[in-house]
Amino acid sequence: MEEESIRHIIYSDEFEEYYASMNEHLKKKYDYALQIVKSQYIVSSKIVKSLENTDFYELRISISSNEYRTILLAVDHDNFIQSKNVLLLNSFLKKDTKQYKAEIKKAGNIVKRYLED
């Protein structure tokens, strides 16, 4: 029996490119987290967390000491929990907090491109 989908996930070209380059173990972790995003109204902050002072959220994947992040946008609502459509923007291996500024800027550019289309 297939679970009902609460949220529709839209994949940016940048995310699809990053996903294609992942190893199988990381893909399984992402698939698991994305299934939770699709099927649960309330998602743990261990998986999706709001990025302070932005409209973005981050999908959080941990494998041993590596922290992977995907910046996402709740398309149809300001609040992730109430959104029905989520756009996965860009992904990266977290190295330090300074990296976020550049990744958020990149995410903003992807959103602009999607709004133009």
The CATH number of residue 30's host domain is: 3.30.2310.20
Is the residue at 21 inside a domain? yes
Quote the CA–CA distance of 98 and 85 in Å, as a whole number. Answer: 29
The pTM assigned to this predicted structure is 0.90
In this predicted model, what pLDDT tens digit does every residue of 10-44 receive, in sequence order?
999 999 999 999 999 999 999 999 999 999 999 99
Q: How many domains does the chain have?
A: 1
In this predicted model, what pLDDT tens digit does every residue of 64-85 receive, in sequence order?
999 999 999 999 999 999 999 9
DSSP track, 59-106: EEEEETTEEEEEEEEESS-SSGGG-SEEEEEEEEE---TTHHHHHHHH
Is the residue at 2 inside a domain? no
Give residue 103's domain range.
8-116
